[in-house]
C-alpha cells in the first residue's frame, strides 16, 4: 500500500506495484467468479478477468435475450461458462452482483438461497446495502460482503483495460466472515484492471456516486450545456457555432488539457482573454450551484433519491418512458446539431 498526498491530505492507495496481477491470480486461483448480470459492468469486468487468467462464469437470465445473446457473442458458452442466474450463482464462490439496482431488489430473494458459507458477495455499487431497508438486500452473516467500484462506465472499464491503462476503483469491506475479505477485494480490483484502488465505505461510495452522476458527471454537465446553448441561440448565434462553443471545444480540446495536467495547466495553455474570464467567472458559478449540490447530497443521504430510483425504474412502463425521454434529448436542437458535427470530424 502506498501513502499518497492528495492536496495536503494523505491517503492510502493500492497500485499494481504493491499488488501485482500475479498476487491477484494466486489469491483467486481456487475461486470461481460468477458474474450475475451481463448488462453494463458485467461484460467489462468478466472479459477483463478472463483475459487475466481468472476462472469466470456468467449468470444471466435467458429471458433478457439481448444480454444473453451478447454474452454468447463475447465467447461465453451456454452450459459451460454461461448459465441462468441461480445455476451460475450456485457454482460460484465469489458472486459479483452486477445487475441494475432495481433488478438487485427483484433478484435477491432467489439469489440469497444460492449463497454458501464462506462465499463472497461482491458489489460495484453501495446502493443495495446502504439502502437495505428499501431494497431488502440483507446478506446472511456467514459470507463476505465486499465492493469494488470502477469510477467509469463498463465501456470505459473495458476500453481502458485493452489500452493497458485502467479505470481507478474504490473498494470496501462491509462484512468479513472468512478473514480474507479484503484480500479477495483487492485481488478482484486488480483482476478487473483497475488503475489504482482507494478505500471507501459502502455508504460513502453510493453517496459520492449518486451525487456525481446527478451533478458534474451527467446531470449538471448536460444542464449547463443546455443553458449556455440556449443563451447563444437566443442571441443570434447559429446552431453550429453554439454547439462548438458549448460542447465540441470542451470535449475535443479543453477537457483533454485538464486530463493531462490539471485545471491550472489548461488555463495556462489558453489565451489570456480566456484565462481572465474563466478565473473571474469560476466563483460566480460555484456560488450559484453550491446550494443545488447541497440539496442534492442531502437527498442522496436521506434515501429520497433511492426511493425515486426504485419507484421509477421498477415501473412496468419504465423502458417506454425512458425511451421517450432519451428521444426528446436526442432530437433536441443541441444534440441533433451534435450528431451532424460529429459526422464532420476528420476520419468520419
Which residues are known catalytic residues? Answer: 125
How far is it, in rounded angstroms, from Cα 74 to Cα 81?
Answer: 11
DSSP assignments along 153-188, one per residue: -HHHHHHHHHTT----EEEEEEE-SSS-HHHHHHHH
How many Cα atoms are found within 13 Å in the side-chain-facing hemisphere of 256? Answer: 6
How far is it, in rounded angstroms, from Cα 26 to Cα 200?
Answer: 25
How far is it, in rounded angstroms, from Cα 3 to Cα 42?
Answer: 31
With the CA atoms of 334, 340, 342 and 343 taken in that order, what torsion angle do they form, in degrees rounded to the nearest 10?
A: 170
User: How many residues does this entry show for the chain?
Assistant: 348
Question: In 31-120, where does DSSP find H-type helix?
Answer: 42-51, 65-73, 85-91, 101-111
Q: What is each CA distance from 116 to 30, 86, 208, in whole angstroms?
A: 15, 13, 32
Strands 144-150 and 169-175: antiparallel
- Rg (the chain; Cα; Å): 22
Own/partner pairs for 200-203, CB < 8 Å, 24+ apart? Answer: 200/147, 200/149, 200/170, 200/171, 200/172, 201/126, 201/172, 201/174, 202/123, 202/126, 202/129, 202/130, 202/147, 202/172, 202/174, 203/126, 203/130
How far is it, in rounded angstroms, from Cα 34 to Cα 46?
Answer: 9
Count of CB atoms within 10 A of residue 245's CB? Answer: 14
Own/partner pairs for 278-287, CB < 8 Å, 24+ apart? Answer: none
Amino acid at each position: 500500500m502506498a501513502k499518497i498526498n492528495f492536496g495536503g491530505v494523505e491517503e492510502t492507495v493500492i497500485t499494481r506495484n504493491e499488488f501485482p496481477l500475479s498476487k491477484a491470480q494466486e489469491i483467486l486461483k481456487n475461486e470461481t467468479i460468477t458474474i450475475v448480470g451481463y448488462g453494463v459492468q458485467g461484460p467489462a469486468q468478466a472479459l477483463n478477468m478472463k483475459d487475466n487468467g481468472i476462472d469466470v462464469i456468467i449468470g444471466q437470465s435467458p429471458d433478457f435475450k439481448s444480454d444473453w445473446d451478447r454474452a454468447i457473442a463475447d465467447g461465453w458458452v451456454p452450459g459451460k461458462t454461461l448459465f441462468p442466474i441461480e445455476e451460475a450463482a450456485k457454482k460460484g464462490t465469489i458472486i459479483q452482483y452486477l445487475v441494475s439496482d432495481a433488478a438487485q431488489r427483484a433478484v435477491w430473494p432467489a439469489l440469497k438461497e444460492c449463497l454458501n458459507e464462506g462465499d463472497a458477495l461482491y458489489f460495484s455499487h453501495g446502493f443495495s446495502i446502504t439502502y437495505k431497508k428499501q431494497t431488502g438486500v440483507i446478506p446472511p452473516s456467514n459470507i463476505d460482503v465486499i465492493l469494488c467500484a470502477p469510477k467509469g462506465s463498463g465501456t470505459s472499464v473495458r476500453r481502458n483495460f485493452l489500452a493497458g491503462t485502467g479505470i481507478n476503483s474504490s473498494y470496501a469491506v462491509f462484512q468479513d466472515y472468512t478473514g480474507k475479505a479484503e484480500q479477495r477485494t483487492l485481488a478482484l480490483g486488480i483482476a478487473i484492471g483497475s488503475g489504482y484502488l482507494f478505500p471507501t465505505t459502502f455508504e460513502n461510495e453510493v453517496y459520492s456516486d449518486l451525487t456525481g452522476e446527478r451533478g458534474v458527471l451527467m446531470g449538471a454537465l448536460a444542464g449547463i450545456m443546455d443553458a449556455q446553448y440556449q443563451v447563444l441561440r437566443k442571441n443570434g448565434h447559429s446552431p453550429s457555432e453554439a454547439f462548438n462553443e458549448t460542447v465540441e471545444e470542451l470535449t475535443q480540446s479543453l477537457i483533454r488539457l485538464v486530463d493531462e495536467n490539471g485545471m491550472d495547466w489548461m488555463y495556462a495553455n489558453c489565451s489570456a482573454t480566456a484565462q481572465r474570464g474563466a478565473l473571474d467567472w469560476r466563483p460566480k458559478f460555484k456560488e450559484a450551484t453550491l446550494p443545488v449540490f447541497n440539496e442534492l447530497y442531502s437527498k442522496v443521504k436521506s434515501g429520497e433519491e433511492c426511493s425515486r430510483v426504485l419507484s421509477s425504474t421498477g415501473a412496468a412502463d419504465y423502458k417506454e418512458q425512458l425511451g421517450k425521454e432519451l428521444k426528446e434529448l436526442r432530437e433536441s436542437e443541441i444534440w441533433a446539431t451534435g450528431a451532424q458535427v460529429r459526422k464532420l470530424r476528420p476520419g468520419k
